[in-house]
Structure 1
Amino acid sequence: MTDMDAFRAEVAAWAAGGPGDTARELAARLHPRTAVLLEGRSDVAAVEALAGRAGRDLAAEGVCVLSMDGATNAARYARLLGPSGLGLRLTGLCDDAERAHYARGLAAAGADPDAFFVCVADLEDELIRALGIDRVGELVEAEGEGRALRTFLNQPAQRDRGPLPRLRRFLGTTSGRKIRYGRVLAEGLDPARVPAPLAGLLAFL
C-alpha cells in the first residue's frame, strides 16, 4: 500500500465516523493539494488509468483520487477535505442526476460548487459512447468475457433494450466487473475521443 493509498483509506474511515487523527497526520506528511471526489471505485479506476496513460502520476502530483461510495456523501467529504477541513482544492466527477448533491456539498464546505465535471448519465455511459458499441465488444472479448456478454445479451429481459443500456447493465452484473472495466475502457480510448467530463477533469488537475 502506498502512502496515498493509506491516506485514502484513512479519509474513508474518517468520513465513516472515525476520529480522523491518522488522516490528518498523513496529510501533514504528504502535503496533498487536491482531492478528486468520485462516486465509486469504477470511477477511480477510470481516472487513474487515463492519467497513467497520459504519463501522469497523480499521487506524486499531490492529487488524491478517492471514492465516496455514493454522491450523497459529497457534503461529508467536502467538509473534511475542503477549505473548512484539510484545506485541499476539491474537484470531481458526478452523474447529472446527482449534480445537486455535489453543488450543495461543496458550497457548504466553502469550496467552489462549480469545480466538478458532469457526466450525462454516468461515467460508463460516457466511455461506451466515446468508444462505440463495437469497440466495447472487442474489449470485452479481449478480457475473455465475450461468451458471458453474448449469453447476457440473449436473455429475454435484455432483448428490448438498446445496445448502450445493455452494455451498461452488463458491466454492473458481477461483483468487481464495473471497477475492472472502468480501467479497461479508459485504457482503450482513442486520445482524441476522451469524453469531455474526463478531459476537463484531467486538464483541471
Structure 2
Amino acid sequence: MEPPRPGAVARPVVLVEGESDAVVVRALLRDRAPGVGVTPMGGVTNLLRFLDRLGGPGPHVLALVDQGETRFATGALRRHGVRAESVEELAWHGVFVCERDLEEVLIRGLGPGTVVDTLAGMGEGAAFETFTRMPQWRGRPVADQLHRFAGSGSGRKARLAARLVERLDPGALPAPLDALVAAAAAVPLP
C-alpha cells in the first residue's frame, strides 16, 4: 500500500504491518475510536516511509508491530529524532508491540480451545486436524499448531483474524491491543 501524500492525512491513523492486522484493529476501533483510520503498511520495513509521509511520529500516528520487528520501529523513530529502545519507550511514542505477533496475542488471549472452535465454525476444523497430524507438527503445543496453521492457506490469516476479534471481550483486551485502542481513543480528531 502506498503511504498517504504529505498533508493528505485529515484524521489520526494506526499503521499496521499487514491486512490481517488491519482487520483486527479496524474492528476494535469501530466503536471506541471511529474517526481513526487504519493503514496496512505492507510490512514494518515500510514504517519509516509512512512516518515520513505523515509528518513523523506524534499523537496522530500510532503503530502496531511484532516483537521481532521492533528494530525497524526504533530505527524509524530514531530517524525522526526520537529515541526509544524498550517496548515501554516505544509505547510512549505510539508504537505498540505484540509479544510475538498479533496472531499469538489473539491465540493466547482467547485460548487455544476458542480458536479451535472458531476454525470449526469456519469450516476449517478438518483441515486443522489434518495439519496437526503432519509429522513436523504432530505432538507440538496446540498454540504453536494454531499459529502456524493461521498463516498457511491463502487469506486464512485475515479470515481467522476477523472471526477471532469478534470473540474478544472488549473490556478485557490483551495488553498491546488494549493500550493501542486506549491511545487511539484519546487522539483528538480534527
TM-score (norm 2): 0.83
Alignment partner of 1:135 out of 114, 121, 126: 114
Q: Which moved more, 1:108-117 or 1:170-179?
A: 108-117
**Residue identity opposite 1:183 in structure 2:** A
Is 1:75 aligned to residue 53 of structure 2? no
Q: CA deviation at 1:110?
A: 5.0
Q: Deviations over 1:65-112 (max 9, x none)?
A: 11111111111111111349xx87221111111112112213323568
Alignment partner of 1:106 out of 74, 77, 85: 77
Unaligned runs of 5+ in 1: 1-11
**Equivalent residue, structure 1, for 2:130:** 151
Instruction: Say which structure is richer in helix.
Output: 1
CA contact (8 A) 2:19 2:40 kept: yes
Query: Structure 2: how far apart are the matches of 1:116 and 1:140?
Result: 30
Find runs of 4+ consecutive structure 1 residues off by over 6 angstroms: none
Q: CA deviation at 1:56?
A: 3.9
**Equivalent residue, structure 1, for 2:24:** 46
Query: Structure 2: how far apart are the matches of 1:104 and 1:123?
Result: 21
Alignment partner of 1:171 out of 142, 150, 165: 150
Identical aligned pairs, as a percentage? 38
**Residue identity opposite 1:73 in structure 2:** N
Q: Deviations over 1:21-43 (max 9, x none)?
A: xx45854xxx22x2211111110
Query: Structure 2: how far apart are the matches of 1:96 and 1:178?
Result: 18
**What secondary structure does 1:191 align onto?**
coil
**What secondary structure does 2:15 align onto?**
strand
RMSD, aligned CA: 2.2
**Residue identity opposite 2:75 in structure 1:** R
